[in-house]
Structure 1
Amino acid sequence: MTLPLPRPVFDANATGGGLGDLPDWDLTDLYPATDAPEFSRDMAWLEKACADFAADYEGKLATLDAAAMLDCIKRYEEIDVIAGRIMSYAGLRYYQNTMDSERAKFMADAQDRITTFTTPLVFFSLEFNRLDDAHLSGLLSQNADLARYKPVFDRMRAMRPHQLSDELEKFLHDNSVVGASAWNKLFDETMAGLMFKVEGEEEELNLESTLNLLTDTDRAKREAAARALAVVFDKNIKLFARIHNTLAKEKEVEDRWRKMPTPQTGRHLSNHVEPEVVEALRNAVVAAYPKLSHRYYRLKAKWMGLDKLQVWDRNAPLPIETPKTVDWDSATRTVLDAYGAFDPKMADLAKPFFEKGWIDAGVKPGKAPGAFAHPTVTTVHPYVMLNYLGKPRDVMTLAHELGHGVHQVLAAGQGELLSSTPLTLAETASVFGEMLTFRKLLDAAKTPGERKTLLAGKVEDMINTVVRQIAFYDFECKLHAARREGELTPDDINALWMSVQAQSLGDAFDFMDGYETFWAYIPHFVHSPFYVYAYAFGDGLVNALYAAYADGLPDFQAKYFDMLKSGGSKHHKELLAPFGLDASDPKFWDKGLSMIAGFIDELEAMEG
């Protein structure tokens, strides 16, 4: 069990460019203000609760009976809730404006204090993992309320072979604020502060606005944006190489001490997924590159009248696509209608996000780029962050993040320790929400051109989610393996990046000079090593799930809601069994990949 720190959660004027009123977060459900008495009260409570917990239980876990062990776990869970609430508030405020030094200081100070308070708790997982298996089984058999926590204990005890001495674990815990956490902050603040001089634009643009130009209808604008990105990344490449070198080395040192057999092992353990399942997914996707990305991009080059695509064409709108801006109200309606058509309960779960200040939608100076749903703690509710610019793809992002939000609301009933879903399953509801929205739009398409545009957009999103993320995973595997042999120069990292890009995107592409530095802005490599395969896992899983839904599996909706309500209380095998699915079957991944191939088949047939 680890105490939560905010995940990268990614302020637009209240109105912008014809999009209508864009909502901002109302964080008062966490705390009314930074100087609120509630915040000081919780901080003081946390300090005392951690000290009391250690005084009451350190060295004594093996002597507790089942009832006393349950009290112990509940006290730990309450500490988890308060620490998570404080850090969620500090983190969400920070990500609204990462350039605001007051917000950065508030978050850093909160993190420092919580790290200090919780250091006395480090003994807990170490001592718990030393409990004899037979003794623990006996306790669980005597108390059903305690037995509920077995999945948490299983995940914790999976780390038994890799835990260090109590003293070393405390040192690592204390040292974390000046280790990876500090390098993460440096990366975030550097990225948020980068400005790009894009030819043809009057003012310098931030990262989010520059990346957005890569989907512009004007090819010259797309090229100008790509070249501006390359110039600034190259200027900062030594810093980004230093961050990656340091984080990869720090991970290698800790992995070596923990006797982790591979750099990926820690991620697999936290995802509660077997290495062979991930390997089967990776191999299935790489084998499918030719029939997915290579084939689709050749088709796209033909549509665009080009012999070769450039990197700035990868996410370009199709020539037949009529540029359109989707205002916020239309986006809201589209997603809620799609959710409601699946089951009215799903739309009801999503509505409070729009009505109660649980979404921060606009693009603002200093706001972190990207989008995500942050679960905060089970006693409050999730918050969704977007950088909404009115593109059709932004509607899909809204559907995606809202899926996460619905999942987090449903899983909250499990309580703090059991609600958190492993990353591999955390993408299920988000990708399913996207698929519902896409299918609703596809069914409503009035012309072949509209259908083609929708299909192509979905294929591109799936390639970005499956092919691109597995290429990212391969890049990380190569990067961490190479770092074990010694320090990597920027050119070394660039070469690793280009090797996976050429393999995954195929022969339809020429790569401009400068593209070799585009690894630099991907936050997952910095914040969460090997996170990326979870996207491909989620997409493949949802394609198989959606096929079961489309085939009319009885009581699908009830089974689906039960799965989401389970949070982290069940293994993927157990969760998927009611749908007749098994992710450990190597053929499982081919089902999802064949859905993408089927969409490309239809697009090719339209050419005939």
Structure 2
Amino acid sequence: MPDLPRPVHDANATAGGKNLGALPVWDLSDLYTAPDAPEIAGDLDQVEAECASFSEDYEGKLAHLDAAGMLDCVHRYERIDRIAGRIMSYAGLRYYQQTTDADRAAFLSDCQDKITQFTAPLVFFALEVNRIPDDRLDGLFAANGDLARYKPVFDRLRAMRPHQLSDELERFLHDQSVVGASAWNKLFDETIAGLEFEVDGEVMGIESTLNLLTEQDRTVREAAARELAGVFGNNVKTFARIHNTLTKEKEIEDRWRKMPTPQTGRHLSNHVEPEVVEALRNAVVAAYPRLSHRYYELKRNWLGLDRMQVWDRNAPLPMEETRTIGWDDARKTVLDAYDDFSPELAKLAEPFFNRGWIDAGVKPGKAPGAFAHPAVTDVHPYIMLNYLGKPRDVMTLAHELGHGVHQRLAADQGELLASTPLTLAETASVFGEMLTFRKLLASTTNAGQRKVLLAGKVEDMINTVVRQIAFYDFECKLHDARRNGELTPDAINALWMSVQAESLGPAFDFMDGYEVFWTYVPHFVHSPFYVYAYAFGDGLVNALYAAYEDGTPNFQEKYFEMLRAGGSKHHKDLLAPFGLDASDPAFWNKGLTVIEGMIDELEAMEG
């Protein structure tokens, strides 16, 4: 079944403001004009009919197809995926605009149920592909170049061969999915979107409350942190139930599939070797003292504090101007940075702003965070933001716009090959952030402003690398602990706190209530073990940007080729033209050295 759009980009308490100008709203009519549009009913009928005929024509026969027959089969499968993806993209995007609206939630559920039911006859496809002998499949690829283009799709399917269940069990899991993880995901989304927080007499949602953690006034930050802790604490039993259920469900399925670790499924879907992820994790954890511990000690001094509290983590620096960046200025900043790198990059980004491809404003019931959803390859991506007007929001725009451009370039690969593994999906987004940051830094001559920019970038990188690896360690501990039985809220709280002090360092004290802050992180619910992809992407881009600054020949051309490849190549093949190799343990230290160098510069400013 096609993936739903997910608000999974951790905005790290993105900031706020007013007087933002006219913020864009999605125009979903490129998908469908309305939930009752006759095209939706027609496409649902088409999916049902095509799935039935696909099963009738191919079930039990895949192993006997010649190359041309297999290519026709793949094309028909891809067409079904595209139509179903259009329906689910429309239903999901419309739902995330207002998750508290019962009609939108019901429409999404109905579409999910129907697509799950209609696509049930397709379950045999992956099962039969995995029973075809290697030499037989290799012969088909050798006989037909057009079919050979789809080899990465077959490779990903066949990576699951050791973990494949019986045909009957696979069909059961497919049918049962609508009342399994997806139902608990919706409960999480609706609970989060419905939370209300009162700070200084004003009632607001989670996004605006998290925003207060970046306010200059420390009393406001503390009040917001304590209100977040109180509301999360009042709902902790619900969140604990969601996590207990999802981790247990995953453990059961992993056990049946003989997955050696809870992380194996994510590594397989990311097409990345476990040892590469372990090397990344170990390099980051070893660097905590050189990165986050050292930086937060600097920040503690800048803020004039004896001890840092959790509400100081994303505090602005004392010398930082409190300013609101209007939407038009944010747009110009990002597009100018993209244009400096390549006019083609800016040209690809421009339509997002003027064709209804971005939904930017904060609205009641809207999902928190930000994402770029590729929708389907014959339409275009959609970007969701919760734009509130501070510098970090501009970086979030640069980040999500990078995703959008990447998805546009990869669309030519077609529905089955366009999707990029999470580890590489962050490449263009983090690169877009780096382009925007470097442009701002280059245009800054004032030493104080340079310090603010550098510190902001270091914080973003710590949030992307250190914080996400700490999240990953928390998930690893959570899934391991759940194997031994039901976890109380207090038990989950203890796991959370065990990684926080280690990653943030000795500059911090932790208020009562911070132990429940695991409750609001959507990654743990929607995409287990997703979070290491952020650290992977940041380290990769640091190395990539260094290659750009070093004058790698034809860098822009190679960069666009990498993005156009989508999911058609392994990370080793994509990085080879730049002379980079993520499987080399030293690779990750190169990326971390970039962050360390910025902290060195900040320390030198104190001398």
Indicate if the aligned counterparts of 1:4 and 1:80 stay in contact, CA closer than 8 A: no
CA pair 415-391 structure 1, distance change in 2 beyond 3 A: same
Q: TM-score, normalised by structure 1?
A: 0.98
SS in 2 for 1:544: helix
Q: In the alignment, which residue of structure 2 is the partner of 1:336?
A: 335
Task: Measure, in 1, the Cα distance between the counterparts of 2:241 and 2:2.
Answer: 28
Task: Measure, in 2, the Cα distance between the counterparts of 1:415 and 1:205.
Answer: 42
Q: In the alignment, which residue of structure 2 is the partner of 1:472?
A: 471
Q: In the alignment, which residue of structure 2 is the partner of 1:235?
A: 234
Q: Deviations over 1:582-603 (max 9, x none)?
A: 0000000000000000000000
Q: In the alignment, which residue of structure 2 is the partner of 1:502?
A: 501
Q: In the alignment, which residue of structure 2 is the partner of 1:3?
A: 2
Shift of the alpha carbon at 1:404?
Answer: 0.1
Task: Measure, in 1, the Cα distance between the counterparts of 2:260 and 2:230.
Answer: 39
Shift of the alpha carbon at 1:63?
Answer: 1.1
Q: Which amino acid aligns with 2:346?
A: A
Q: Which amino acid aligns with 1:533?
A: Y
Task: Measure, in 1, the Cα distance between the counterparts of 2:387 and 2:273.
Answer: 36
Q: In the alignment, which residue of structure 2 is the partner of 1:412?
A: 411
Q: In the alignment, which residue of structure 1 is the partner of 2:180?
A: 179
Q: In the alignment, which residue of structure 2 is the partner of 1:134?
A: 135
Q: In the alignment, which residue of structure 1 is the partner of 2:152?
A: 151
Task: Measure, in 2, the Cα distance between the counterparts of 1:171 and 1:418.
Answer: 27
Q: In the alignment, which residue of structure 2 is the partner of 1:81?
A: 82
| 1:363-512 equivalent positions in 2, closer than 5 A | 363-512=362-511
Indicate if the aligned counterparts of 2:369 and 2:385 stay in contact, CA closer than 8 A: yes
Task: Measure, in 2, the Cα distance between the counterparts of 1:484 and 1:104.
Answer: 32
SS in 2 for 1:231: helix
List alignment gaps of at least 5 residues for structure 1.
none
List alignment gaps of at least 5 residues for structure 2.
10-15
Indicate if the aligned counterparts of 2:17 and 2:324 stay in contact, CA closer than 8 A: no
Shift of the alpha carbon at 1:9?
Answer: 7.0
Task: Measure, in 2, the Cα distance between the counterparts of 1:3 and 1:20.
Answer: 35
Q: In the alignment, which residue of structure 1 is the partner of 2:284?
A: 285
CA pair 9-535 structure 1, distance change in 2 beyond 3 A: closer
Q: In the alignment, which residue of structure 2 is the partner of 1:55?
A: 56
Task: Measure, in 1, the Cα distance between the counterparts of 2:285 and 2:322.
Answer: 33
Task: Measure, in 1, the Cα distance between the counterparts of 2:80 and 2:4.
Answer: 13
Q: In the alignment, which residue of structure 2 is the partner of 1:25?
A: 26
Shift of the alpha carbon at 1:17?
Answer: 2.5
Q: CA RMSD in A?
A: 1.0
Q: In the alignment, which residue of structure 2 is the partner of 1:205?
A: 204
Shift of the alpha carbon at 1:32?
Answer: 1.0
SS in 1 for 2:417: helix
SS in 2 for 1:405: helix
Q: Which amino acid aligns with 2:93?
A: L
Q: TM-score, normalised by structure 2?
A: 0.98
Indicate if the aligned counterparts of 2:430 and 2:537 stay in contact, CA closer than 8 A: yes
Shift of the alpha carbon at 1:500?
Answer: 0.2
Q: Which amino acid aligns with 2:131?
A: R
Q: In the alignment, which residue of structure 2 is the partner of 1:65?
A: 66
Shift of the alpha carbon at 1:35?
Answer: 1.1
Runs of 4+ in 1 over 4 A off after TM superposition: none
Q: Deviations over 1:525-550 (max 9, x none)?
A: 00000000000000000000000000
Task: Measure, in 1, the Cα distance between the counterparts of 2:345 and 2:2.
Answer: 30
Q: Deviations over 1:303-340 (max 9, x none)?
A: 00001110000000000101111000000000000000
Q: Deviations over 1:255-292 (max 9, x none)?
A: 00000000000000000000000000000000000000
Q: Which amino acid aligns with 2:565?
A: S
Shift of the alpha carbon at 1:203?
Answer: 2.4
Q: Which amino acid aligns with 1:213?
A: L
Q: In the alignment, which residue of structure 2 is the partner of 1:607?
A: 606
Shift of the alpha carbon at 1:6?
Answer: 3.2
Q: Which amino acid aligns with 2:442?
A: D
Q: Deviations over 1:116-175 (max 9, x none)?
A: 000110011001110011100011100000000001110110000001000000000000
Matched, 1:192 2:193: yes
Task: Measure, in 2, the Cα distance between the counterparts of 1:291 and 1:598.
Answer: 10
Task: Measure, in 2, the Cα distance between the counterparts of 1:229 and 1:4.
Answer: 30
Task: Measure, in 2, the Cα distance between the counterparts of 1:305 and 1:210.
Answer: 25
Matched, 1:43 2:56: no
Shift of the alpha carbon at 1:204?
Answer: 1.2
SS in 2 for 1:384: strand
Shift of the alpha carbon at 1:470?
Answer: 0.1
Q: In the alignment, which residue of structure 2 is the partner of 1:322?
A: 321
Task: Measure, in 1, the Cα distance between the counterparts of 2:57 and 2:308.
Answer: 65
Task: Measure, in 1, the Cα distance between the counterparts of 2:88 and 2:2.
Answer: 10
Amino-acid identity (%): 77
Indicate if the aligned counterparts of 1:9 and 1:95 stay in contact, CA closer than 8 A: no
